[in-house]
Each structure stands twice: as structure tokens, then as C-alpha cells.
Chains A and B, each alone.
Chain A
Amino acid sequence: MMNREIKSYFPILDQEVNGHPLVYLDSAATSQKPVQVIEALTRYYEFDNANVHRGVHTLGNRATDMYEGAREKVRKFINADTTEEVIFLRGTTTALNLVAQSYGRANVEEGDEIVITYMEHHSNVIPWQQLAKERGAVLKYIDLNPDGTISLEQVRAAVTDRTKIVSMMYVSNVLGTMNPIKEVTQIAHEHGAVMVVDGAQAAPHLKIDVQNLDCDFFAFSGHKMCGPTGIGVLYGKKDLLNNMEPIEFGGEMIDFVGLYDSTWKELPWKFEGGTPIIAGAVGLGAAIDFLNEIGLHEIEQHEHKMAAYAMNAMNEIEGLQIYGPTDPQKRAGIVTFNLNDVHPHDLATVLDMSGIAVRAGHHCAQPLMKWLQCTATARASFYVYNDESDIDRLVEGLRSTKEYFSDVF
């Protein structure tokens, strides 16, 4: 599919914002949805909606097939061994919290270590902070190189035999850095620790192969990869998941309920208490079909190309500082920056008046902002529907912003 064709599948992009054609550069926050996904959701609700795994009736069977069919799509998408390892949850945050509260509470003891990095999103910081406080464990941070990358030496220096959990984002939502997850996993395993991967920014952009990475847990969200909000996935190795206790109890996840004790269903359902996110899973399945049709390898190449084009053009603007790796091959389609002394909020407001949507703020990564020694940044992030013309509009907008504030700063 060519870019223009891809763009035509996203109805939301065909509109004017503040009198200008919309340029959406905030896909790292949430991606837009193609008609294929929107129609899959509508079709499900118009023809197939029923609760799953309980009805004898036809709709119930159809809904169950669709829900479990989506699980199989996810399994293939991340190359998991079996669908028992694919748990549908609300999103990455819920998935990481499940690992911390179930695996973490059962396996982390006083004096043990949990290792994360300075670049983590709050959702991969706070669950571990809470776990460390509760268990009397030590939370350690892996330092970053000046360009915002991670070196394996620093990982080796941080991970010890007392480390029980290493958790790291695959792709940084601020710096765009792609972390060497496979190698870090190997180091974690050498010390007997499990490897948890926050894949929220990776799943939309890279071919994921959990068996090749050999990670123990992998979490991601549907809404950043053309799927609906409210659906996400936790992948976990079967042996680990089998030994873990659910953290949500109720319908759907039980095997037998007595008055004073109950038993759980087998994997993956024991972690899916309550009526599951059926429509969300169906929508995620449609999103996976859509991404596969474009090709994950093509998407990754497109992102590198967008990052390179943007960085090139933005570096021409005097006073504009880009954070993170300078080599576009080392980053996903995310460019975080500051323009002179113009505060990112002011920048984002002026761009918005030209129909250009960028993110401004701390990007849910306050420890990283501290490391970068700034309180806020602006971020432009690109996805399958963006092309060079969007970046041209951004650069034009940045130049006008600079001019607009020229007598002030």
C-alpha cells in the first residue's frame, strides 16, 4: 500500500482543524483508526454481539469464535508459542500491574532488586515502586548514555544475582530509542531474573517475536496500533503464568465456586475476570490484519524514513534542539524537541492553530525529563498515515512559531 492509499483509510484525517487541513503527529499518544477497524467494531455490534464462553445460542458461539480468533491473531502477531500465553487486558498499564502484583508479590523478597531505566514511562515505574516499597526490595535505575541509548555495560553493572525482575521499554515514547531487549533479556536470565518488556511503543512499529527475544513478559496496547482503546495484551511464558495467581476475581475466570473456596480456569482465562473486552479484541484483530497487509517491516522502514526526513529538516531550524539518538536508524518515528525558549505548551498551541497536532509536556516520563534536565518537551510522532508533506507542514509551522515569538524570546 502506498502512503496516500493508507491515509485514505483514516476518515478522521480528512478534516480541517482551526481552518487548516489536519496534520496528526501525536500517534505515540494514540493512533488513529482505519475504516477496517471501525467497520469491524460496527459489524460486531450489529450482527454478532453476545457474551462469550457461556451461551448455547448461535450469537454466543459467534462472539466466542471472534474473541478467540482475535487471540490467535495476536499470537501470530507476536509469535507466541500458544494462545494460552496471550491474555487480553485493558492495556499496557494493566498488564504491567498484573505482573508486578501477581508475579512480583510472589517472587520478590526483602533486599531483592528490581531493575528499570531512567527512560521508562510512568506505567513501567510506579508498579515497581509500589512493589519495592511493599516488599522492602531495592528499585535500581540503569543509567543512559548522553544520546539517550542504553549500553549493555550499564545493564551488566546494574543487574546482579539479587535481581528478580528487569523491566524495560522496547521503544522509548520520548527519545524514540530502540532498546536491545534480546541482549538485556540474556543478561537478566544469566542472573536468574525475569525480563518484562513494555512494548507499548514497539508493537505498532516493529515486528515482534517474543520467542526470539526470549523475554518472560511482554505488554502492549491496541490503541497505539490502529486498534480501539481499552484493549491490550499481556504475553507471558506459559510456565510462569501457570504458577501465577490471578489478581481479579469474579465471573469468567473460575472453574468451580464453592462457598468458601474456588478454583480457576486454565490459561489464559484465569486472568480475564468478568465479561471480557470482546469488541476491543475484535477491533484489535482487525488492526492486526490491517498492519499485516502493509507489512511490519515496511512500517519500520517508513518510520526510520520519517524520522530521518524530520530530523534533517528540523535541524535546519536555528535554536531547535532534538533529544535522543542522532542516527534515525536507531529510533522509531518519534522526534522530541524544544525550540529556543518557547515553552512546549505555547509551541503546541500555536501549531494547533495551524491544524498541526503535537504533544507537549512531560510525556508521562518525569524521571527521564529530570535526566534530560528539562521540565517539558514537544513531541512529533509519525505513523503509517504520515508522509513527507506532514513533516513539511510541521517545519513550516515551527518556523512561523519561532517568528511569532521572535520579539518575546
Chain B
Amino acid sequence: MSSKNLDQLYRQVIMDHYKTPRNKGTLDNDSVNIEMNNPTCGDRIQLTLQVEEGIVKDAKFDGEGCSISMASASMMTQAVKGKDVDTALQLSHIFSDMMLGKDYDDTIDLGDIEALQGVSQFPARIKCATLAWKAMEKGVQSEGKS
């Protein structure tokens, strides 16, 4: 069972984020509160962000889903916290490229997110990994408009 591909998918750091998620919960002082689900499988995420003067000051997520979707949400909140909105969106873009197996901008330090690279080998699971990022994108974009 210990295939190389599987071990690439379920990297230690991913399982660590799944077991002990960072930024789990909901913010009280949120400026963005967004819910998203993956209708084909039932994964669900609620993302709260505190965006002030174009900076993501704080981020928390809640929800349920598989290890990939929850680990990805944990990593995403970790990555965007303290970043300005443009950088957060740029990260999301890089992540999307990574999932599609495209060459991605590696000048930015991706930290733990890099561990999710193996997901690109599992087409059925890409949607699990991108759910939280899509929620973040939608969230910060709606924030700017209101």
C-alpha cells in the first residue's frame, strides 16, 4: 500500500495540519465571513477574515471534510495572515497553478503549502485542496467592494 504517489499525497506535514489544524474556529471581529462547500462530496468550510487597510490581520476557518481539504484550509490561513490582499491573491494564483501541475512562481516562499504539491497527481482530489483558497479569494474580493 505504501506507494510513492500516496506518500506524496499524504505528506507528514499535511497530516500534521489535519490532526492539529492552525487557526481553527471563527473570528468575532471578522470583516469577511464566507461559507463554501463542495457539492459533489459534502466538504464544507466557513472562513472568517479580519481585513484592515488592505491587510489580512487575522484568519480562521471552521468546517468538515477530508484530510486534504482541512489541511489545505489550515495552511491557507497560516499563509495569508499578515499579508496584504494582493499577496494573498497572488498566493492563491500560485497554488492554483501548482494544483494544475503548471510551472509556478517559486520566488515566493510557500512554506508548508509546498507539501500539497502531490495532490496534483490525484485529479479527483484537487477540488478538496482548492476549496479554502476559493473561499479566501471570494472573501477578500467581496470585502473590497462593500
Q: Chain A interface (Cβ within 8 Å of chain B)? A: 18-19, 343-346, 349-350, 353-354, 360-362, 366, 369, 375-376, 397, 400-401, 403-405, 408
Per-residue CB contact flags for chain B residues 106-127 toward chain A (1 = under 8 Å, else 0) read: 0000000000000000101100
Selected from A353, A366, A376, A405, the residue in CB contact (under 8 A) with B3 is A353
Interface size class of B (residues with CB under 8 A): 20 to 34
CA distance in complex: A398, B1 (Å) = 10
Check if B40 is an interface residue, CB within 8 A of chain A.
Answer: yes
Check if B95 is an interface residue, CB within 8 A of chain A.
Answer: no
Q: Is the CB–CB distance between A345 and B41 below 8 Å?
A: yes
CA distance in complex: A165, B122 (Å) = 44
Q: Which residues of A contact B124 (CB under 8 A)?
A: 349
Q: Is the CB–CB distance between B19 and A408 below 8 Å?
A: yes
Q: Is the CB–CB distance between B15 and A353 below 8 Å?
A: no
Q: Is the CB–CB distance between A346 and B3 below 8 Å?
A: no
Q: Which residues of A contact B5 (CB under 8 A)?
A: 353
Q: Which residues of A contact B19 (CB under 8 A)?
A: 408
CA distance in complex: A209, B1 (Å) = 46
Known contacts A361-B42, A375-B42; A346/B1 CB under 8 A: no
What number of A-B contacts does a CB cutoff of 8 Å give? Answer: 57
8 A Cβ contacts from B22-63 to A: 40-44
Known contacts A343-B67, A361-B42; A349/B125 CB under 8 A: yes
CA distance in complex: A191, B68 (Å) = 50
Known contacts A345-B66, A346-B66, A349-B125; A376/B6 CB under 8 A: no
Question: Shortest CB–CB separation between residue A379 and chain B, in angstroms?
Answer: 13
Known contacts A346-B68, A353-B1, A353-B5; A360/B41 CB under 8 A: yes
Selected from B2, B64, B67, the residue in CB contact (under 8 A) with A346 is B67
Known contacts A353-B1, A353-B6, A404-B6; A375/B64 CB under 8 A: yes
Q: Is the CB–CB distance between A349 and B9 below 8 Å?
A: yes
CA distance in complex: A375, B45 (Å) = 13
CA distance in complex: A401, B2 (Å) = 10
Q: Which residues of A contact B2 (CB under 8 A)?
A: 404
Question: Shortest CB–CB separation between residue B36 and chain A, in angstroms?
Answer: 14
